[in-house]
Amino acid sequence: MMFGVDYAWGRPSVASLKNAGVMFACRYLSHDTSGKNLTAAEAIRLSDGGLWIVVVWESTAQRALDGHAAGVQDAKDAAAQAKACGMPGDRPIYFAVDFDASAGQQAAINAYLDGAASVLGKNRTGIYGGYNPVKRALDGGHCTWAWSTYAWSGGLVDPRTHIYQYSNDHTIGGVGLDYDKTFKPDFGQWKVGVSPTVDPTPPPNPASKEDDMPTGLLADGPQAITPIALPKGRYKTIGFIADNGLQGLPGAQLRVAVHQGGGSWHSEHVTVDSAKGQTVITFPNQAATDGISVQRSDAGDVHVAYEVS
């Protein structure tokens, strides 16, 4: 698994990204002229600094609803922009479905992806979106690559996902960005003029359980409770991240109860505020911990994601 970020108008320095452990950056292609897009100079800086690059096309959040002709045009424009930035011709481009797309909207989304694939080839066409549109597009054979977000996903992640956007609203080098991680060794990454050399069947690492870490979203609403069952003794911490900064709301108030076997519970009350990053609770008795109960102590209108590790 590799740790990466995605960002738009800001430009964190390569040094700040590497100091934070970032290994790849997902960057935009679009019709924007105000500085959102990846540039050739930026691609060179990232590549020279040893960071991989992934590109996603997004003009508007719901552009994919414009169907096949829109996909054709966007793929042509995306390919030209990516080539100008030094992307090798065998690398994929993701196309954003940046909203909670319904099943009734999938036909238009699929047609959009088909249009993009008619230009790039399906083997170079990817989708960014929540669990349901990603799954439906992959099931229908409309794309090959998947960048999934925790948003609108109810804690679900399609196992075919290449990149997973698991937390929003962070800051590195003074720039707001989102956190991502990879689930596949080849996730569409490149450096200027360089495609990765990836073993298509890397040997398993039985000692590593990181990709199996439980993740999800807490239930919304006043006093809502989210129970989380865990294999006894396997995990050490639970981390929370909220989107209150995006909504202009106060941080989320949670009561976190850690079950330590029998009738023993350890409870803490915490505030999860995006301005402070992830809030992490360490289990006091790791060997005995087999579950967690998280209760909202507020109005429950701030979305909170969790990850157990």
pLDDT in tens, 250-277: 999 999 999 987 778 999 999 999 888 8
63 and 114 co-located in one domain: yes
On whether both 112 and 236 belong to a single domain, the answer is no
Is residue 144 domain-shared with residue 268, that is, in the same domain?
no
Question: Do residues 273 and 244 make contact, with C-beta atoms less than 8 angstroms apart?
Answer: yes
For residue 2, give the DSSP letter. -
- For the ranges 65-69, 90-94, 304-308, the lowest mean pLDDT is seen at 304-308
Task: Using a cut of 0.75, tell me whether the model's pTM lies above it.
Answer: no
Q: 132 with 228, same domain?
A: no
Asked if residue 201 is part of any domain, the answer here is no
Domain boundary residue among 182, 203, 232?
182
Indicate the pLDDT class of residue 206, thresholds 50, 70 and 90: very low
Q: Are strands 145-149 and 163-172 parallel, antiparallel or unpaired?
A: parallel
Residue 274: predicted pLDDT: 85
Residues 258, 166 share a domain: no
Give yes or no: residues 164 and 250 share one domain.
no
SS percent in the chain: helix, strand, coil, step 5: 25, 30, 45
What is the number of structural domains in the chain? 2
| Inter-CA distances, 102 with 66, 149, 238, 243, Å | 15, 15, 31, 22
Asked, for residue 71, whether it belongs to a domain, the answer is yes
Distance CA 154, CA 130 (A): 9
**68-84 pLDDT per residue, tens:** 999 999 999 999 999 99
| Cβ–Cβ under 8 Å, residues 295 and 224 | yes
Domain boundaries, position 61 = 3-182
| Cβ burial 133-160 (10 Å sphere, 16+ → b, else e) | bbbbbbeeebbbbbbbbbbbbeebbbee
Asked if residue 203 has pLDDT above 50, the reply is no
227 neighbors 291 (Cβ within 8 angstroms): yes
In a domain, 64, yes or no: yes
Residues 265 and 304 in one domain: yes
**CATH code: domain of residue 81:** 3.20.20.80
